[in-house]
Structure 1
Amino acid sequence: MLTAVLSIGAAGLLVYAALHDLAARTVPNWLPLTLLALGFCARLADHTLFTGLAVAGGAFFVLFIVWLLGAMGGGDVKLWAATALLIPPLLQPELAFFLRVVVFGGILALFYLSLGFVVHKPQGLKTGGLLRRLLRAEAWRISRRASLPYACAIAGSAIVTLLPLSFQR
């Protein structure tokens, strides 16, 4: 029961992280820290804390190297590693989570690449409501081939992996 409650809370935070990354291309530092705390509690509850910390630490190490190479943002690295602690440290769920992040990220990249052919740099006045301004900013990012909101892939993968595991008996 505790794991299910923690998973639902984590899912809400992951949705927020994805939306924040979509709007601002950043992940606030408090989000991975909060997810790390939830993961710590979940792993403590199911007695897999040491293994979970080893998996999350290994993920952070590998992703940190990817960040050093400039292929991923720092917020995405922290979010992915913290989310890895939320997933039970069993081979199948962890591998499924990591594979889903890569696949969802690839789909996201293809989506943004295809949008580059139809969305053009916005012209005209910079007025309008919040949604209109967000769409203009996104159109500008697409036209300039700016960074991807990779937290969307991480969050989607974690939710698809985590929630079914949380409600199994």
Structure 2
Amino acid sequence: MSYLIPIVAIPALLAAALHDVVARTIPNRLSLGIALLGIGLHVSAGDLGVALAAAVLVFLLAALAWWFRAMGGGDVKLLAACALLPPPAAVPGMILAIALAGGALGLLYLALRGLPAAPRPSLSRAAALPRRALRAELWRIRRGGPLPYAVAIALGASLSLLA
């Protein structure tokens, strides 16, 4: 069953990342679905107690970051849910991969901060929505807005699941 985890989890992580980029929120149903997937895996593997302890520890540390306004509440829930996906011993490696992806995302946003505003070409209605989302994200970047950290969570967790 563990081979199905990336097949199901990665699209959910991608959806969370896209939602975070567009709306700066992460739907609770995505975090809950990822958590339930991980719980099902650990029930079948017989290590649910250890996996839940690891996820609670990740949640508490991320909640501390939220307390100091270094992380959003949706990111905290998504991160804790992702901690249920790998075997408990692999959680620190996944957290490291997420932190490295977050660092890369932060550097990218810093590099893009000096970009000028994009011109507004006329586009078909189908192409207009992605273009508007990109313009809105570039506007946030230029103004030093918060990072959509679900992108880093999705990337780091996905790479860990595929490794």
| TM-score, shorter chain, exceeding 0.5 | yes
Give the match's secondary structure for 1:86. Answer: coil
Deviation at 1:163, TM superposition (A): 2.5
What residue in structure 1 maps to residue 79 of structure 2? 80
- Aligned match of 1:3: 2
Deviation at 1:125, TM superposition (A): 9.3
Gaps of 5+ in 1: 165-169
Letter in 2 for 1:120: P
- Partners of 1:104 and 1:72 lie apart in 2 by 15
Using the TM superposition, give the Cα deviation of residue 7 of structure 1 relative to its aligned residue in structure 2, in angstroms: 2.9
TM-score, structure 1 normalization: 0.88
Mapping 1:12-161, distance limit 5 Å: 12-90=11-89, 93-117=90-114, 119-121=115-117, 129-161=128-160
CA distance in 2, matches of 1:61, 1:142: 29
CA 1:126–1:31: 2 relative to 1, 3 Å: farther
Could you report, residue by residue, the CA deviation over 1:1-24 in whole angstroms, capped at 9, with x for unpaired residues? x12123310111011111111121
Counterparts in 2 of 1:58 and 1:138: CA distance versus 1, 3 Å = same
SS of the residue corresponding to residue 2 of structure 2 reads helix
C-alpha distance after superposition, 1:25-55 (max 9, x if no partner): 1101111111110010011111110000000
Runs of 4+ residues over 2 Å off in structure 1: 120-128
- Unmatched runs of 5 consecutive residues or more in structure 2: none
| Length-normalised TM-score, structure 2 | 0.91
Cα distance in 1, alignment partners of residues 94 and 120 from structure 2: 43
Alpha-carbon distance in 2 for matches of 1:112, 1:148: 8
SS, match of residue 120 in structure 1: coil
3-state SS of 2:88 partner: coil
